A and B are shown apart, each in its own frame.
Chain A
Amino acid sequence: MDTTLLKSLSEAHGISGKEDAVRKIILEAIDGHTSDIRIDSLGSITAIKRGTVAGAPRVMLAAHMDEVGFMVSGVDGDGLLRFTAVGSIDDRILPGLRMKIGVNAIPGVVIWTPIHLGREQSVVKLANLRIDIGAANKDDANGKVKMGDMIVFDSYFGEVGTAMVRGKALDDRAGCALLIDVLRGGPYPVDVLAAFTVQEEIGLRGAQVAAQTLNPDVAFVLETTTANDIPNPLAVPDEMDEPNPTCRIQGGPVFTILDRSIIVNPRLLQFLRATADKHGIPYQLKTQPGGGTDGGSIHLANDGVATAVISNPSRYIHSPVTYLHRDDFDNSLRLVQALLHDMTSFGGTAL
């Protein structure tokens, strides 16, 4: 894991539709390692790393550049900012959080009622929240921010514990870092069609255009998924309430069986499992079908693309602090490189 690179990716500000800062970092990082680097009309980066075997499958690898965040949607008379979510975020985590607003990264905090006032609010709704940037009034606030300004979690990247890193936006900057490492490695027998996509968090949008353009034979989506291997504070323990952790930190790359956007090609899933077994790489199956990924768009592009999803297990995604284990990242990288080397022996996508 290139921690310096992951730090800069994690700390870059780039909500859906405003991925410019992330794109800049990636373009520098892959410079010299691929050919045919393009930025498409939606803003996704596509790049091709030519393979060594003629006629081998053309394999797309996709990771999304955007992160969940917010946008300024208005200024109240008292100078407090109204804001709206970009991507899915649990409103309940917001009160008291620090945010950075706009290109000048103005600091602000989401309002909340201190405990002294004893006002228990059981339901937190985004519509009732505001961001306080210390403005004296509406005019003062309007001098600092404007409608549509990007808002991101105010967070930093760092080490946590002995082998984990923490940071915002590891969904899916960790996938971007993984894809960069793949491109820096090689050569591979197959053509690698890399796509750093935009606007995944608001509906898998950039990937659709990227896949239509690259027109791959097979695609792997490099993602970050939620490791729910923590106690559920709301669970009532009984025999039928066994923990269902989705996946676990340090359990290795996570293979999706299906989610809301895709049923993973069964032959490709078999190939993932066989490749991991062959190379002694631990892996786990995602046991809950929530969410969707770029795979949802990619597998339906053009004449259809056999597609699988490989995720790093991480805790607390879509929050200011996501935890990622180095072993998981390293195992995901080993797996993807093994897949690219073994892809020439893949028998085909039909069961």
Chain B
Amino acid sequence: MKDLIKSLVEAWGPSGYEHHVRELIRGYAEPYADSIEVDALGNLICRVGQGDGKQRIMVAAHMDEIGLIATFQEPRSGYLRFTPLGGLIHTTLHGSRVRFENGVTGVIGAPEPLGSSRQNAPDLESFYIDISDGDGAGAVAPGTAAAFWRPFEERGTRLIAKSMDDRIGCVVALEAMRLLAKETPHEVYFAFTVQEEVGIRGARPAAHSIDPDIAIALDVTQAGDEYKGERNGIKLGGGAAIKVQDPGLVVPPAIRDWMIARAEADGIPYQLELLKAGTTDAAQIQSVRAGVPSGCISIPCRFVHTTSETVDLRDVEACVQLLTGLLKH
């Protein structure tokens, strides 16, 4: 599973430009899917099972990662201006490396990286990207997207990488597909969605075409065990996080209890998640068509939306077991 994780987290796929990740996932999914489709927005939808009168279940994990897109090149200096794709944390930007689709590496800078007050980071408009190659202005046309770059690393059971959010959710989905080996009493649609980070856009049309009875989103959640953290009770290594609520979704008790019962029956470690800020694909899926009861299995993560998002392998395994168990019964 670690090879799969490394391959997906190091792949390039900012919001709206998920095509490389999609082809990678398609390759992994093909042996375990009964059919695969790509919709007009670029969502990859893999069906497993025929249903046989049971539930039609949507499982959603988003392929996109936060990134940016070049909008304008300063005529004299050659520096690129950019606009974010997703929620960038300003204090992490100065000195960060990004890679454009054509392979050019850029470095982000700011006139006053610590902010004039030394408390606040500068406005995003102040940042620029250096793409100079010492021999001209560099070759990145405005309109080209970029993703942050850092390699995958391990420290014991901790896994550290960019874009754990939400490639680790994609990994959980792919691992469950592999373990199911096409055996499920349900009709399961694994949707690898686009454009979650820019406002949960891909999941809605995907849910509209799948028209599921129930849905499960897979995403990272903010761990509460960072220093002076949220104190939300979520710990790395504490097991799969079963969502109770976030600002965009109140999980129907029947869905929540269905997950808890499965975890207890199978002896899977779990923790209950009440997230104060942020939401997932499930927030959009729940209101598609006549409504879809939706829940979420979350992977606890430290340092979310940085290039060092940290998860614990044991939690990832617990999430895989829980999802597989739910889809098998």
A interface list, Cβ under 8 A from B:
217, 239-240, 242, 244, 257-258, 263, 265-266, 269, 285, 287-289, 299-306, 349-351
Task: Report which B residues bind A (CB closer than 8 A).
Answer: 15-17, 19, 38-43, 69, 71-72, 74-77, 79, 81, 83, 85, 111, 128, 142-143, 195, 198, 201-202, 204-206, 208-209
Which of A240, A269, A288, A299 is the one whose CB lies under 8 Å from B128? A240
Residues of B within 8 Å of A239, CB to CB, are 74, 76-77
A116 to B198, CA, bound (A): 50
The answer to whether residues A300 and B204 also contact, given A239-B77, A285-B142 and a CB cut-off of 8 A, is yes
CB neighbours (8 Å) of B195 from chain A are 263
> Assuming the A-B contacts A258-B83, A287-B142, are A242 and B75 also in contact, with contact meaning beta carbons closer than 8 angstroms in the complex?
yes
Among A242, A299, A303, the residue within 8 A (CB) of B208 is A303
Chain A residues, Cβ within 8 Å of B39? 303-304
A303 near B142: Cβ-Cβ < 8 Å? no
Q: Can you pick out 12 interface pairs between chain A and chain B where the beta carbons lie within 8 Å of each other?
A: A263-B85, A263-B201, A265-B41, A266-B16, A269-B143, A302-B208, A303-B40, A304-B39, A304-B41, A304-B43, A306-B41, A349-B40
Is the Cβ of B208 less than 8 Å from the Cβ of A258? Answer: no
A350 to B17, CA, bound (A): 10
CA distance A239 to B142 in the complex (A): 19
Q: Is the CB of B208 within 8 A of A287?
A: no
Q: How far is the CB of B70 from chain A (nearest CB, A)?
A: 9
By beta carbon, the residue of chain A nearest B71 is A287
Q: Please name 11 further chain A to chain B contacts, defined as beta carbons within 8 Å, in addition to the given A240-B111, A257-B143, sorted by A numbering.
A: A242-B74, A242-B75, A263-B198, A265-B41, A287-B142, A289-B69, A302-B208, A304-B206, A304-B208, A304-B209, A350-B19
Q: How far is the CA of A242 from the CA of B17 in the complex (A)?
A: 29
List B contacts of A288 (CB < 8 A).
71-72, 83
Closest to B39 in A: A304
Q: Are A303 and B74 in contact (CB under 8 A)?
A: no
CB-CB under 8 A from A285, the residues of chain B are: 142-143
Return B157 CB to nearest CB of chain A, in Å: 36
Q: Which residues of A contact B205 (CB under 8 A)?
A: 300-304
Question: Using Cβ atoms and an 8 Å threshold, which residues of chain B touch A258?
Answer: 16, 69, 83, 85
Task: Give the CA-CA distance A5 to B239 in the complex, in Å.
Answer: 66
Q: Which residue of A lies closest to B17 (CB)?
A: A266
Chain B proximity of A97: nearest CB distance (Å): 29
For the complex, give the distance between the alpha carbons of A337 and B260 in Å.
Answer: 57
Whole-angstrom distance between the Cβ of B289 and the nearest chain A Cβ = 10
| Shortest Cβ gap from B26 to chain A (Å) | 11
**Assembly CA distance A68 to B75 (angstroms):** 35
The 6 closest A-B pairs by CB, nearest first: A304-B205, A263-B16, A351-B19, A303-B209, A304-B41, A304-B40
